[in-house]
Structure 1
Amino acid sequence: MQNNWTTFNKRRVFMSPKLWIYAITLIFSALSLSAQPNKIAYHPQKVFIKISQTAARATSLPLNATSAINIPNVDRILSRNGLVEVRPLYDLSNSNRAGQNLYGLDRVFVVEFEQPIDVNSIVGQLSNEIEIEYTEPVYHRELVYQPNDSLLDVSWHHTNIQSEAAWDVTTGSDSVLIAILDTGVDTDHPDLIDNFYLNPGEIPDNGIDDDLNGYVDDTLGWDFSGTESNPTPDNNVNHDWNWHPYHAEDHGTHCAGIAAGVGDNEIGIVGVAFHSKIMPIKIFPNSYDDVITAAMMYVADNGADIMSCSWGGGPNSSTLNSAILYARDTKNCLVIAAAGNDGSSSIFYPAGSPGVLSVGATTGSDARASFSNYGNWVDLCAPGAGIWSTTDPANPFHSDLYQAWDGTSMACPMVAGVAALVRSQFPNLSIDEQEALLIDGDDVGNIQMGKRINAFKAVTPFRITHIPLTESEANLPISVEADVLAPGLNLELIRIYYSIDSAPFEFVEMSETTTDHWVGTIPLQEAGTVVQYYLMASDSTQFTVFSPPGAPAVTYMFLVGGINSFLALINDNVETNLDWMLGVPEDNASSGTWEWGDPNGTWQNSTPVQPEDDHTLNGENCFFTGQAPASSTNNGAADVDGGRTTLRSPFWNFPTGVMPILTYYRWYTNAEGLSPGFDYWRVQVRSGAEGSWITLEETTESESAWVARTFYLPQYMSEFSNLQIQFIAEDLGGGSLVEAAVDDIKILTGNLDFYTPGDVNYDTLINIQDIVLIVNHIMEISPLTGNAVLAADYNQDGYVNVQDLVSLVNLIVSG
């Protein structure tokens, strides 16, 4: 750690309120800090225990701290290891939690021992007891800031995320609360003090729990951590000093200022939601999961709308996951977390936990910050490099009111601020709808962190909602319907753009039939036609939105007349293995690799994980990952573990003019186990052994059922010779159960009329004239095109060659 620190220049910049809102520009000198490495640690004297539902019903579990859990086998293990105390994680007498979904937190206990123990050994011993649903260490979490190294050429983040335009719509509501779970705050900071939430149910400093929420005098948040030397919770949320190795004890103040620092006050910085309120929650320096889960429950129970978590590291925790889901799903509190600063694609917890919006960091030029974690598990990103915000001048290391810091720690409260704007503007939206507005930001390139947050776009949700068509009847007009939401905008036009069998796109206008509901009609088409289409809406300023969002590069597609109106070039019901590769050299899964046969099926409790039956009517076989024992107790057996496993097709060759449609049924589940919803399913296609793989489908969504998928390959590629597809199931670790299966794979074509194999000249006869046409085609004297090529391929193997001639001669001679 270098000590050549740059001292902050305390010049104050005064600006008019109007100028402050529209042109916030401060030039500061920067502070050099060093990055803190991510540590994986847990409490040396504590573990979590979750009692099974069956044991909880049969046992009188303790309601308060005690010396036993009232389960003999468990109590013996605890006693011989020096048990001090068993206490429920939460006070179930809290009336705010009565009758609500606690995600099993009412059966979680914190077990504390009198001296450091072998935590992994205790966890192993307890896990063998039938009354225990799970036991796990009480993990420790770290701050995830990445301090700045040099003087800053400021590129102000409000410009990047269009805060100023958003402020013309809303500056946040004082009824919207942002909880900052962090190191505490400077409660006297001039750019924060007016935006702190004060608990109206509590009379300050009277020593009484006036609002009966279990916390005495929690007027201004709560300190769940205490100090290093005295880990006792209290109501003092100011920072403690001299515990952090890189002097970031005022990290919470910096995050609070980004989210909701006071605006329009002619000093310092301004937060994204500068009229919303801050609920300061102190969880450091003793940031173990028992402290954090208690803090999350408090935040959720006491009315916070958004929870900002700029910390993490260490393994996934089932207990922490339950607290997150309680906050989000039971209490309607958005949970937002920093994706971490390891520059890695590995999942970082709790950002990667179910129910959390994970936030990566970008630079002023909208590139991925070098330190930011990334990957498909990161939901969105926000500026996180050189972000100026509030700091605590009481910090003995710098004594500054403002500093510029880097990190996903800074990106996280920025998204929390935008979330507060969204909640202020649309208080009645569901939490899923609010998250959708946040995630649908700006596409700034392939940075593998979702889209970059756009505050203005989030609070002006000009968008098209449309249920895509999958098929239509032949020879009838095709009706397309959509809802167009454009609050405060003057819609100028709404169109359907459509293409028939890959022809150039045409358009028809849509008409508003009822408020916000629009209908248009694509002209009638014949059976066996492929229709691609997308919707476009534009306002009077030429602001344009599309459905699907990636249009026109990405479109919807449907089949006129349904699948049965199309010719099957490949029709593989997988009752035999027709040269499919069950694994490729790039695979690294340690178990659960692809197999062919009749699957036994697996379950997690009553939920199917692997199918017991194939999809084909009256069939038996399919491709599946790992054959488990045929048993009703084979939970998780032979699932995919340790990496990826690939099912790859043989090469298929199709005649010129064919526009292939790929259809298949697949089964994919990753929703069971300790870390549901993280692992990936991918389907890819290429042309030729040297061709690049093109992704058709990539998802982490689990469906414990056979699901049909259809892809019009000309949307993705232009060359269809030596076509090959592959299916990839991948386990990313963390304890989830990953299973996949594939069946009934077809490649169809419908852009050509039906034909009779062998009748090359369409005269309804198969004779010497057809033989001559095929010979001329093979010798390239007179190449065939269109249907004639398909008819010349008499044995339907994808090639026109001598074998077709021999078969036709035999047919003619025998006929």
Structure 2
Amino acid sequence: MLKTNKILCYLALGVLPSLGFSQNKDTPPANWYNLDFQKDATMGISTEKAYELLKGRKATPVIVAVLDGGVDVQHEDLKDVLWTNPKEIPNNGKDDDGNGYIDDIYGWNFLGNAKGENVNQDNLEVTRLIRIYEPKYGSVLPTTPLTEAERREFVAYQKMITFYTSKVDEGNMGKMTYNRLKEELDGIIKAIGKEPKDITVADLDQFNDATARQKSAIRIAKKEMDTGTFLKFYEDIKDGATHFNDQVDYNLNQKFDPRNIIGDNYEDASERYYGNPDVKGPDAGHGTHVAGIIAGKRNNGIGINGIADQVKIMSVRVVPNGDERDKDVANAIRYAVDNGAKIINMSFGKGYVYNKKTVDEAIKYAESKDVLLVHAAGNDASNNDIVKNYPTKYFTDSLDAVVGEAKNWITVGATAWKLDGDLLAEFSNYGYRSVDVFAPGVKINSTMPESKYKEQDGTSMASPVVAGLAALLRSYYPNLTAVEVKQIILKSVTKVDQKVKVKGENGNKKVYLDEISVSGGIVNAYKAITEADKLLSNKK
């Protein structure tokens, strides 16, 4: 599911919620994810230090595909680092290069149709699955005769219903809470008579005609303004309201199904040629942010510095405001591979899967073409060894038994900037076998549509940090294979002799990173360059 940022949930208390906001109340240094701990006392990945080693070396630009909700290709900090299809003539309505996609200049959009119409909202996968299984199993009793295959489906359906019901309850509570808080803030803004960006603590203190609800909202706002602005707080509340409204109205609404807009035969997973060339789509916030982390034009005096300096971003729109569909993900991977991407970033995930086989086949195809896949671990503070976050690096059979593992795959969890017990982002998923590495994913400032910038949290931000590092390696070491790049990244992590807090079944517990990941550390660009030099030296 596409998450614009980590929605900072409130706990309901009376009419308005009590504060339950951010893990880190202070502010990290600018560009923190590129900084070095020894030099800057910040748990970045030492990108700037790595470039000192690379001075004078030549690099070959590498194509990185961003499979996401869309990218603003006109952004001031991205327009110079975009992949463009060299064989396609813009806007002539023809498939000039014969790849099956008309006018695919910057990439492709699998969430639209040839008329230019696009899907924005969609269901969660669990909603779609319940819509399929409910007519068959909604009235089944434990004593109803079923085949072995039907029994497995019925048990799965029952678990889906339990999960779905809890999500509906959460969505309704969140919708009521955030809408009510936004309503009170709107009233306060109107009464004060200023734009949100101009409202100060003094303005709130001088607002004497507040109702009881408004007083509660003011208390929350003032607490958040200790480390931010009223505008930032108000934007977070609006994001929260939008998130929960979308959950109730679209993501969890079994009566809502927008797939007819696209006009494909959804059940035909082999169908590949549908969509349109609108890679921005109706909501490009998440994908634009991800693209900037990877490739925001470095040292141009504007915006932010991405990780890689020799990279071309290919945008493949595949994630709606809801859960991505397996057919679209598989097609997006194949499109990226066939059009020259050497790294694919996938900052999305979901707890249920409809057609895992078609995604597995696409992952194997990418592996056969030496393409590295980088995937976000998820933002549920859960153990991916136990609770699945699809797609995964594991190939499975019809009984969901593991039958193989992708060697060209890196799963990424998120960390913060301080070396303390809160180093692991409070929302980050983890897993001793299933999460490979960690990377910065808290308060990451990056590009947003219309040449804007914004801080966001999530493993969605950590994944492009690693994809950017992979692009850095493949551009300066073009002979490295995808598997070798993965090995270098995992081998060169910064190990941390510090226990971190994770959420367990019985509350928080403290563990080392090597207990909750394969590599046991945070990616490090400087060490990766050193490791790559060592590997190439040994090959000679």
Q: 1:348 aligns with which of 382, 389, 403?
A: 389
Q: Secondary structure at the match of 2:374?
A: strand
Which amino acid counterpart does residue 378 of structure 2 have in structure 1? G
Work out the CA distance in 2 between the residues paired with 1:462 and 1:323. 28
Partner of 1:442: 494
Aligned Cα root-mean-square deviation (Å) = 2.7
Contact 2:5–2:456 (Cα < 8 Å) also in 1: no
Q: Secondary structure at the match of 1:202?
A: coil
Which amino acid counterpart does residue 45 of structure 2 have in structure 1? I
Work out the CA distance in 2 between the residues paired with 1:428 and 1:486. 9
Q: Measure how far apart 1:149 and its partner are.
A: 8.1
Q: Secondary structure at the match of 2:412?
A: strand
- Listed one character per residue, the Cα deviations across residues 438-473 of structure 1 (whole Å, up to 9, x for unaligned) are 11211124122332100111122178xxxxxxxxxx
Instruction: Say whether residues 1:426 and 2:468 are aligned partners.
Output: no
Which amino acid counterpart does residue 33 of structure 2 have in structure 1? H
Q: Secondary structure at the match of 1:213?
A: coil
Instruction: Say whether residues 1:288 and 2:325 are aligned partners.
Output: yes
Q: 1:303 aligns with which of 329, 336, 340?
A: 340
Q: Secondary structure at the match of 1:308?
A: strand
* Structure 2 residue runs without a partner (length 5+): 10-20, 36-43, 113-117, 120-257, 264-274, 395-404, 498-511
Report the identity percentage. Answer: 40
Partner of 1:235: 277
Contact 1:351–1:357 (Cα < 8 Å) also in 2: no
Instruction: Say whether residues 1:312 and 2:349 are aligned partners.
Output: yes
Contact 2:309–2:472 (Cα < 8 Å) also in 1: no
Q: Measure how far apart 1:150 and its partner are.
A: 7.9
Q: Measure how far apart 1:485 and its partner are.
A: 4.9
Which amino acid counterpart does residue 153 of structure 1 have in structure 2? T
In the superposition, the TM-score normalised over structure 2's length comes to: 0.55
Contact 1:336–1:351 (Cα < 8 Å) also in 2: no
Q: 2:374 aligns with which of 324, 336, 360?
A: 336
Which amino acid counterpart does residue 238 of structure 1 have in structure 2? K
Q: Secondary structure at the match of 2:304?
A: coil
Which amino acid counterpart does residue 34 of structure 2 have in structure 1? H
Contact 1:260–1:270 (Cα < 8 Å) also in 2: yes
In the superposition, the TM-score normalised over structure 1's length comes to: 0.37
Partner of 1:357: 410
Q: 1:185 aligns with which of 71, 81, 89?
A: 71
Contact 1:257–1:271 (Cα < 8 Å) also in 2: yes
Partner of 2:507: none
Work out the CA distance in 2 between the residues paired with 1:198 and 1:148. 39
Work out the CA distance in 2 between the residues paired with 1:263 and 1:460. 22
Contact 2:64–2:313 (Cα < 8 Å) also in 1: yes
Partner of 2:527: 457
Q: Measure how far apart 1:430 and its partner are.
A: 2.4
Q: Measure how far apart 1:347 and its partner are.
A: 3.5
Work out the CA distance in 2 between the residues paired with 1:364 and 1:220. 34
Partner of 2:440: 383
Work out the CA distance in 1 between the residues paired with 2:72 and 2:416. 27
Partner of 1:583: none
Map of 1:714-725 to 2, 5 A cutoff?
Answer: none
Instruction: Say whether residues 1:158 and 2:23 are aligned partners.
Output: no
Work out the CA distance in 1 between the residues paired with 2:60 and 2:480. 18
Q: Measure how far apart 1:32 and its partner are.
A: 8.5
Contact 1:184–1:253 (Cα < 8 Å) also in 2: yes
Contact 1:34–1:149 (Cα < 8 Å) also in 2: no
Contact 1:225–1:287 (Cα < 8 Å) also in 2: no
Q: Measure how far apart 1:273 and its partner are.
A: 0.3
- Listed one character per residue, the Cα deviations across residues 160-209 of structure 1 (whole Å, up to 9, x for unaligned) are 20001222244994530110000111111101010000111111112111
Work out the CA distance in 2 between the residues paired with 1:152 and 1:188. 32
Work out the CA distance in 2 between the residues paired with 1:430 and 1:411. 22
Work out the CA distance in 2 between the residues paired with 1:455 and 1:225. 35
Partner of 1:257: 292
Contact 2:61–2:310 (Cα < 8 Å) also in 1: no
Q: Secondary structure at the match of 1:312?
A: coil
* Structure 1 residue runs without a partner (length 5+): 1-30, 37-146, 242-248, 394-399, 464-483, 488-514, 518-815
- Listed one character per residue, the Cα deviations across residues 613-667 of structure 1 (whole Å, up to 9, x for unaligned) are xxxxxxxxxxxxxxxxxxxxxxxxxxxxxxxxxxxxxxxxxxxxxxxxxxxxxxx
Work out the CA distance in 1 between the residues paired with 2:484 and 2:71. 31
Partner of 1:34: 7
Q: Secondary structure at the match of 1:460?
A: helix
Map of 1:133-144 to 2, 5 A cutoff?
Answer: none
Work out the CA distance in 2 between the residues paired with 1:215 and 1:343. 39
Contact 1:361–1:368 (Cα < 8 Å) also in 2: yes
Higher Rg: 1
Q: Secondary structure at the match of 2:316?
A: strand
Which amino acid counterpart does residue 320 of structure 1 have in structure 2? V
Map of 1:492-503 to 2, 5 A cutoff?
Answer: none
Q: Measure how far apart 1:365 and its partner are.
A: 1.7
Q: Measure how far apart 1:275 and its partner are.
A: 2.5
Contact 1:183–1:282 (Cα < 8 Å) also in 2: yes
Which amino acid counterpart does residue 325 of structure 1 have in structure 2? K
Partner of 1:195: 81
Work out the CA distance in 2 between the residues paired with 1:516 and 1:436. 15
Q: Measure how far apart 1:486 and its partner are.
A: 7.9
Work out the CA distance in 1 between the residues paired with 2:449 and 2:325. 24
Contact 1:263–1:275 (Cα < 8 Å) also in 2: no
Q: 2:462 aligns with which of 411, 419, 425?
A: 411
Work out the CA distance in 2 between the residues paired with 1:213 and 1:462. 35
Instruction: Say whether residues 1:325 and 2:370 are aligned partners.
Output: no
Q: Measure how far apart 1:351 and its partner are.
A: 4.1
Which amino acid counterpart does residue 205 of structure 1 have in structure 2? N
Which amino acid counterpart does residue 278 of structure 2 have in structure 1? N
Partner of 2:197: none
Which amino acid counterpart does residue 359 of structure 2 have in structure 1? L
Partner of 2:308: 273
Contact 2:65–2:345 (Cα < 8 Å) also in 1: yes
Identify, as 1 or 2, the structure richer in strand: 1
Q: 1:224 aligns with which of 92, 110, 113?
A: 110
Work out the CA distance in 2 between the residues paired with 1:205 and 1:314. 38
Which amino acid counterpart does residue 456 of structure 2 have in structure 1? W
Work out the CA distance in 2 between the residues paired with 1:148 and 1:253. 23
Partner of 2:201: none
Work out the CA distance in 1 between the residues paired with 2:45 and 2:378. 21
Work out the CA distance in 2 between the residues paired with 1:373 and 1:214. 38
Work out the CA distance in 1 between the residues paired with 2:428 and 2:345. 17
Which amino acid counterpart does residue 378 of structure 1 have in structure 2? V
Contact 2:23–2:426 (Cα < 8 Å) also in 1: no
CA 456–197 in structure 1, closer or farther in 2 if over 3 Å, else same = same
Q: Measure how far apart 1:402 and its partner are.
A: 0.6
CA 427–148 in structure 1, closer or farther in 2 if over 3 Å, else same = farther
CA 148–391 in structure 1, closer or farther in 2 if over 3 Å, else same = farther
Q: Measure how far apart 1:304 and its partner are.
A: 0.1
